[in-house]
Structure 1
Amino acid sequence: MDLLLNYSPVLLALLAGLFTWFITALGASMVFFFKDINLKVLNAMLGFAAGVMIAASFWSLLAPAIELAEGGTLPAYVTVSLGFLGGGFFLWLVDRILPHMHQGTGHREGIKTSWQRSVLLVLAITFHNIPEGLAVGVAFGGLASGNPAISLAGAVSLALGIGLQNFPEGAAVSIPLRRENMSCKKAFLIGQFSGMVEPIAAVIGAVAVVFIAPLLPLALAFAAGAMIYVVAEELIPESRLGHEGDIATIGLMFGFTLMMILDVSLG
């Protein structure tokens, strides 16, 4: 793994983002084998994804951000709190402006538009995955700082965790679309699109912290806040559709535990 340190952090961020996109596409490809998905399984998948993102937000992002912010001009908790709330506020603002539709509810949000339902679903998926790509990019971009609080193993574990939860996410997007009589090809394309934005966001995050090193604590906390916003705004509510709340909670617990193990053992 040490050989990877010879490469540019921005290049590593791009490769990690492409990896998470590829895993999303693998999950979305399940639409070619299954036309329907059990509600319990869907809710467990979404709960699992929420658990991974919550754990990653703390161990991979907030904890290093606090360590990096110590000794700065402001108390560490002030810097990290501002970044965390800023990430949540940014996603809240995008949520209010960007026209999109949440799958499962059919509720249109953002600026009113006559765009087709499939377009609104794609925009919702894009909105959902920006924080994940940003988090991966910031983690790899932070390697340029040389600070021991940011390690290659920690960045890799974050990318692995995001990738793991992207597989069920891809399936959870594409298969329900197939159930609504959308063609397999179109459902797959929309499902894999949920990961397409991640390499782009990863490069943006990496470039930002590489060229503006003092931003690193804020950027880590910002990515964490954005991820938690997505979990609270989308994943948890959508995982509790129907009467399968316990299944979603169990999935969340397992996702959190798995990500915690990856972070602690590798990071």
Structure 2
Amino acid sequence: MIESVIAYFETIDPILAALYATLFTWLVTALGAAFVFFFKEMNKNVLDGMLGFTGGVMVAASVWSLLIPAIDMSEGEGFVQVVPAVLGFIMGAGFLFSIDKILPHLHVNFQKVEGVKTPWQKTTLMILAITLHNIPEGLAVGVLFGGVAAGIPEATIGGAVVLAIGIGLQNFPEGIAVAMPLRRMGLSRRKSFFYGQASAIVEPIAGVVGALAVTTFTPILPYALAFAAGAMIFVVVEEVIPEAQQNKSSDIATLGFIVGFIIMMTLDVALG
């Protein structure tokens, strides 16, 4: 089935494909958020396992789908070849670090508000935290499709589609992780679902912007791929893993991470 999806995406404009792919990742977030219509609470062990899975997918995607292609398409040898990936990675992590310090937000399992002081409600702050996660994910998918549009040999439709599938897989628990806490805070099921799915609305926007940026100025592709990887790794280390390790059953989160990493690595190597 995945091969059929790849074949279809090969027949359409890569920029349009980037939009479709990121709309898919948004839809999967909505499917996760829809769980709020059937359950008021999610078992903490299950949620931790899902968060661990999310982290594993993001790390594997950062390595196989982003960093390795960024290095392969860079000119030179040895240390020279890795420079674009290093610089892009630093810029991506630095960008998220700066946003993390400035933008007010609240993590799922944390009570402390981060960023500048604000009178905003906790529900708004938590939605902003998850929205922050989704920017590099949409960007990662977009820049790969942009590389295809620019004719870069190392950027393939298969790799971009597999990355979108991986991002979609980890967006499912993210949708649950937003909607469920909002429901516990007293919001209606409808509002919890709405805000849960809305947290991923930035992915199609970031995806199209990333694709257009790469096609407009092709030499930035290695930097853009590494930028997305740096941002995603920052999110995993700063937010996803600490949140998944809050409860006593940290082994479940660890196993979830391993499963997510293996699945994403396998998809990318076999189909990318």
What is the TM-score with the length of structure 1 in the denominator? 0.96
8 Å CA contact 1:125–1:193 kept in 2: the answer is: no
1:89: Cα distance to partner?
A: 0.2
Partner of 1:35: 40
Q: Does 1:57 align with 2:26?
A: no
> How many pairs were matched up?
266
Provide the secondary structure at the position in 1 that maps to 2:224: helix
Provide the secondary structure at the position in 2 that maps to 1:109: coil
Deviation digits for residues 147-174 of structure 1 (CA, Å, limit 9, x no counterpart)? 2211110100000000011111111221
Provide the secondary structure at the position in 1 that maps to 2:207: helix
- Counterpart of 1:61, as a letter, is L
- Counterpart of 1:174, as a letter, is A
1:176: Cα distance to partner?
A: 2.4
Deviation digits for residues 184-215 of structure 1 (CA, Å, limit 9, x no counterpart)? 11111121122111000101111110110000
Q: Which stretch has the larger CA shift, 255-264 or 186-195?
A: 186-195
Partner of 2:123: 118
Output the CA distance in 2 between the equivalents of 1:124 and 1:222: 19
Output the CA distance in 2 between the equivalents of 1:149 and 1:103: 37
1:3: Cα distance to partner?
A: 4.6
Provide the secondary structure at the position in 2 that maps to 1:124: helix
Partner of 1:158: 163
Output the CA distance in 1 between the equivalents of 2:181 and 2:117: 25
- Counterpart of 1:23, as a letter, is V
Partner of 1:69: 74
- Counterpart of 1:194, as a letter, is S
Percent of pairs with identical residues: 58
- Counterpart of 2:121, as a letter, is Q
- Counterpart of 1:59, as a letter, is W
1:103-182 to structure 2, matched below 5 A, reads 103-182=108-187
- Pick from 249, 253, 256: which aligns with 2:254? 249
Provide the secondary structure at the position in 2 that maps to 1:71: coil
Deviation digits for residues 108-164 of structure 1 (CA, Å, limit 9, x no counterpart)? 111111112222122112111101001011111110232221111010000000001
Output the CA distance in 1 between the equivalents of 2:130 and 2:20: 21
- Counterpart of 2:135, as a letter, is I
CA RMSD of aligned residues (A): 1.3
What is the TM-score with the length of structure 2 in the denominator? 0.94
| Residue segments in structure 1 that go unaligned for 5+ positions in a row | none
Aligned structure 1 segments of 4 or more residues deviating by more than 6 angstroms = none
- Counterpart of 2:241, as a letter, is I
1:51: Cα distance to partner?
A: 0.2
- Counterpart of 2:232, as a letter, is M
